[in-house]
Structure 1
């Protein structure tokens, strides 16, 4: 008997002629202890299918069909017919979920430890607090978070993107569920940590065999991850399951043209060589970032000796680089290595009250960090950014037209409404969206579609320098290839300069002329990309590249 079984599940929005199906007639079964993956393009219905068993689909969604769940006594119940009280009993204890965007899923007002402990206490109210605390710390340690005893008292904003994702995994595993639904569980993780998380999930499955086993439903756009983790894979296209079978058979002998297209979607290197004597647009000279040493012990979040010259924690050690017109520099490293800190320091977006930024940054021959706010604001049209978390960076109260045209309102206020709309429609079309998106809101789009909106918002001002912080982390492989091709074409057309930050070596290799490897805030190796990939000099670089090949 299946642990979970979808029977003719359809999910739609609207009514009458306006009814649109996001998932149509899905039939899929998950066996106890099985590892199964769902793959497909952004907007294909993967996440909605994963949310349906826990009744977490967006408001207004209409669900038809059945989702049968096998209880511990062996009987089946239709999750779509259960009361919300019964569903709450199932959430966490029997079916747990790792969400795609940890920053929006975690409560910013509570420490990581408190949130894991809460997940335990909801289903184990009699467990002593100290035992809950030890359980939470042990889970944090298992998921690879450094100094778990201290991170127990940290807030979400004090962790890197990858560390927040691992904290989400720890929370989901707290109650030892029978089914773990993982929606892009390794999106924010570097390649070496992906292997650790995969091994962790496999180990936890082995441990769970004593109590009947734990199945895993993996939702991902990372096909290499699926190859090395799932025993069976289902392929969704426009809400329909077009192919399902053993992983090795589906990937080696796809029977559906769409599956074949997915399998062959790999980033292609199409870089033009730099123009001789190309002008330098961005100069970074001995840039470093440090923070006051914090004290997490015993739950205290007080800064040590705030007004004294206490030792500071240096998260980015002095580094230098030059970015020329038409050039792309890639930055790669493990989670917490300082990649995003480097980007935020260059952009001047670090909190001035806590972060101490030293060194010089020159943008178009202007001393960027020392400019007055009004001067820096005027120059921001030339230096734009695409953030890692598209949902967190898009205002939920603004329409897509308002979000994408906001830069035009600030930097080109002379444009009429029709001119702004024309430009917004044009840039949306370039990133794969159409006019129908204009009056919709971010929550109405999938993660990958939100990332394309973020890219459109940055590109509409036609900047000279673009900082890309994990620009394709939320995109499936086919859309990723399209976006990278778009960025490459725009670079050729407008001679744009890119600073691209990613944990995906394939993306970095396809896009960058030069590659910088960071570890613990320090430059380990820096040079021409292809030469470094062929013959890395440092042991850490070799390990990083080797892990990328395995995943």
Structure 2
């Protein structure tokens, strides 16, 4: 029995010859109590398809076709309504009450000026307008408890910025479930979360769906590009490509026997391990000895005494050799990004208290004078998680990539400068036509290639890769990782790769460092550790990613 049915749905932008269809004649249904996953690359139309039933499509979008919704009360003889023909006022009665949505980034979806508790109370009162304030508070705390947030009575009074990423996402789920919806749309609900938290969130949704069976069973539409999660969660899969629905079927059938070539390419997009061995006498390019980072606490003990500093990193020691990749893994708050920032020397202007040693190319990083450290930065570069956020929207590709040359090689002529940039673009799979274009004119994978070119233009020996592919689709991710692997072999680069994607770590790393609460709990050869992890924490991480 269908709960929601798309009939010939089309969503387009522009007019005349410039009209482009983001969703093209889509026919798809979601059954009562079903878990359906909608997958595809960026630009395939997934999110627009999810937003259409709630009439939240962007301004300027032209929507045609039908979206039939099975009414909860069918005694009036109508049975179904077309959501596209309803007024916005009538749609508002359905939003939240019958169809709820969990957005990709909870920090932007939650109001930073109100506590989590007040925001959940608001949702509870929409569903039960006559409920008393005291009962609404109890209901909100109960929802926080159901979604697995520790100390729900205390977290009820917390603001969004005071919660971790996983806790914020759980709070979003609590808000969405407050009205006991019949359909829950989850748009990339786990993208920003660590692998173990991803599985926890999806297991939680399964549990809550089971609890709703007494009300007919809640249906879930999951939008994601993480195929491992789809296998773990969905009963059926629908595959979109450039707005067209190309394949629908039971999850096991689609993954084991995909029919369409595009689906086969998606299913086979797992990163491939293709590493060159580290030379036996390779020099150590980056070394840390008992590196620790702490931040002053804002809490006080007694009347005047400030609490002890919060230790984020605790005596981390490792050596990174030429041509080697060390992968750094761990859950949110384990200290992964802090380690990367400390190695790069980017914590000096903050309130962080850094102790221990960081040696870069045999020189003590902390003891270098500012002028010396600036000169050394050409040997130590970084590639960030979000290529769009790390590239200036007001600079052309030529200006972005050549910026480092302007600092470290100011004597180059304009022609020499441009020639080096063109050569670097070719290295990363782009051509001269990209020179005078701007970041917004490129896809996510192309932007990350530009970020790689910017880092490599100075011929560094060490690269810190901070979640370099987490914002990319699986097929684009595979291409970028292959490029990084080729460049490492060609230039004998050393990579410190920070990631919560263990498939990426497995494909790219010679050794793995496992961080928990700022400490190294396990360190060793990647394949050996995956086959025989010693620590319980490591086993849990790998089990969540299904690597063992």
TM-score above 0.5, yes or no: yes
Distance 1:545 1:338 in 2: 18
Name the counterpart of 2:506: 509
Q: Which runs of 5+ in 2 are unaligned?
A: none
**Rounded Cα–Cα distance in structure 2 between residues aligned with 1:509 and 1:542:** 14
Q: TM-score, normalised by structure 1?
A: 0.85
Residue among 99, 102, 126 paired with 2:103: 99
Structure 1 segment 42-57 matched on structure 2, within 5 A: 42-57=42-57
1:523 and 2:531 aligned = no
User: 1:152: Cα distance to partner?
Assistant: 4.2
CA distance in 2 between counterparts of 1:240 and 1:539 reads 44
Where does residue 245 of structure 1 map in the other structure? 249
Deviations 1:225-256 (A, max 9, x none): 21221111011122211110111111122111
Within a 5 Å distance, the mapping from 1:38-437 to structure 2 comes to 38-74=38-74, 75-121=79-125, 127-294=131-298, 308-350=305-347, 354-369=351-366, 376=373, 379-389=376-386, 393=390, 398=394, 401=397, 404-405=400-401, 407-408=403-404, 411=407, 416=414, 423=421, 427=425, 430=428
- The change in CA–CA distance for 1:209 and 1:101 in structure 2 (over 3 A counts) is same
Deviates more, 1:14-23 or 1:225-234: 14-23
Residue 51 of structure 1 aligns to a residue in which SS? helix
Deviation at 1:175, TM superposition (A): 2.8
Structure 1 residue 344: deviation in Å? Answer: 2.9
1:533-548 equivalences under 5 Å are 533-548=530-545
SS in structure 1 at match of 2:468? coil
Matched, 1:13 2:13: yes
Cα displacement string for residues 197-216 of structure 1 (whole angstroms, at most 9, x for unaligned residues): 22211111112222232111
Matched residues in 2 for 1:391 and 1:109: separation?
A: 27
Q: Which moved more, 1:191-200 or 1:255-264?
A: 191-200
Q: Aligned equivalents of 1:473 and 1:467: distance in 2? A: 15
State the partner residue of 1:487.
484
Segment of structure 1 superposing worse, 410-419 or 49-58 = 410-419
Task: Give SS of 1:69's match.
Answer: strand
In structure 1, runs of 5+ residues without a counterpart are 296-302
1:477 matched to 2:481: no
The 3-state SS of whatever aligns with 2:544 is: helix
* Distance change in 2, residues 1:121/1:253 (3 Å): same
Deviation at 1:401, TM superposition (A): 3.8
**Which whole-Å CA distance do the structure 1 matches of 2:166 and 2:70 have between them?**
33
SS in 2 for 1:358: strand
Total equivalences in the alignment: 542
Say whether the 8 Å CA contact 1:408–1:420 is kept in structure 2: no
Cα separation, partners in 2 of 1:434 and 1:200, compared to 1, 3 Å: farther
**Distance of aligned partners of 1:2 and 1:150 in 2 relative to their CA distance in 1, 3 Å threshold:** same
Contact 2:271 2:507 in 1 (8 A): yes
Q: 1:311 to 1:31 in 2, by over 3 A?
A: same
Which one has a bigger Cα radius of gyration? 2
Partners of 2:53 and 2:303 lie apart in 1 by 48
